Amino acid sequence: MKIKLVSVWNPKGGQGKSMLALNLAAAAVELGLKPIVVCQDQQGTSMLYYKGGNLPFQVIDEIPAERPNADIIFFDHQASDWEVPTTNLLIMPIKPARDQYATYIDAFKRAKKLNKEIITVVTDGQAHRADEKSTTNALIERGAYVIPSSGVFSRAAGEYRTIFDTELNKAYKVGERRKEISKILGKILLEQTIEKAEVEQYA
């Protein structure tokens, strides 16, 4: 079986790359898949979560030399990384504000020139802020997914957990947030295009 390779990428920091990589991996576990997160960030956010001991999947700090035992690999890229990832499928989180959008759209167009498949995820949006709401809606019209600002993410971060952790089963609106993450995972799994390099890398 081919391993699905997914890069979570946006050169802008603080958009939710690690949060998405970790929670998408947790959603994959819920489906009975074996995910791995490759932390490619010197800040090591994903690695810190893994060291916290609450993750039901592995986070590693470098690309494995041999084919790993996994169904799906999420590459958690670092901020300021302007090099478009080699995987065909990119997940680009973005906060819905103009200065965040400016960097996102620069990177998005750079990746599109290389014919990458891109799934945009609007993160941390505040529905009561008109500008953020209209930005979010404009991105939804172009096919973006949305994960609104939610206390459950702060709680999960405080304990180095994902929102799929059973400890957070009673958190406010956790079911909705899990559903939103799972929906993105569903879209990822439906993406059939795998570039040649991906096939060769772990062939």
Partner 1 sequence: MPSNKPNWMDEEESRAEEIAETGGTSNPKAPQLVKVSREPARKQKAFYIQESFAEMFEDLAHLEKKKNGVKAPQLAEEALLMLFKKYKLDTSKL
- Give the binding site for partner 1 (CB under 8 A): 78, 80-83, 98, 101-103, 105-106, 108-110, 112-113, 131, 134-135, 137-138, 141
The least distance separating partner 1 from the CB of residue 11, rounded to whole angstroms, comes to: 8
Q: What does the angle CA 62 – CA 72 – CA 15 come to, to the nearest 5 degrees?
A: 70
Helix (H, G, I), strand (E, B) or coil at 62: coil
Q: Least distance in Å: CB of 59 to partner 1?
A: 19
Kindly tell me which of 45 and 150 has the beta carbon lying closer to partner 1.
45
Least distance to partner 1, CB of residue 121, Å: 18
**Three-class SS of residue 45?**
helix
- Residue 18 has which token pair? 């690690």
Q: Which is nearer to partner 1, 57 or 101 (CB)?
A: 101
For residues 147 and 8, the answer to whether their CB atoms sit within 8 Å is no
CA–CA separation, 53 vs 8, rounded Å?
22
Backbone angles phi, psi at 101, to 5 degrees: -65, -35
Query: How distant, in Å, are the alpha carbons of 38, 138, 156 from that of 11?
Result: 17, 21, 24
Question: Measured from the CB of residue 106, what is the shortest distance to partner 1 in angstroms?
Answer: 5
Nearer to partner 1 by C-beta: 12 or 161? 12
Q: How many residues does the chain have?
A: 203
Query: Shortest gap between Cβ of 82 and partner 1 (angstroms)?
Result: 6
Nearer to partner 1, 53 or 83 (CB): 83
Beta bridge partners of 102: none
- Judged by beta carbon, residue 4 or residue 77, the one nearer partner 1 is 77
For residue 194, give the amino acid letter. Answer: I
